[in-house]
Structure 1
Amino acid sequence: MNAPYIYEWLGEPAKTTQVLDRIADELYDDTPGGLEGNDDLGALSSYYVWGRSACTGHLRHR
């Protein structure tokens, strides 16, 4: 879960965003089967929420 954030440490924040977007697009879905495996009391769901970057002034996440 921490691996995408290594790019922040390396000074490449744009790559962090690319990796998090790919994770969100490929591993999460808004269907009953949209979250594979065990949610571990919300850990995976919260990872999705906090992994998305907010667009200030917009009603959506980037």
Structure 2
Amino acid sequence: MLKIGKRESIATSFEIGIHNATLAIVIAQSVLGSTELSLPAAVYGVLMFFVAFAFGFLIREREPQTAMAS
């Protein structure tokens, strides 16, 4: 629909996930004034890197291996 490639859409998804965790922490502490409400976002913010790494590893495009000439 937006005519962007697969790599760009994956990169955008990762960036949005990272920024959403940070935004949730800022809103919980500054707007709502609650440290307790920022804890789930903080936990997500830490765990998200491991999940994102695993997901990125699974969906990466593998380059075809060429046969070595002997």
Question: Normalized against structure 2, the TM-score is what?
Answer: 0.31
Larger relative contact order (CA 8 Å, sep ≥ 6): 2
- Give 1 or 2 for the bigger CA radius of gyration: 2
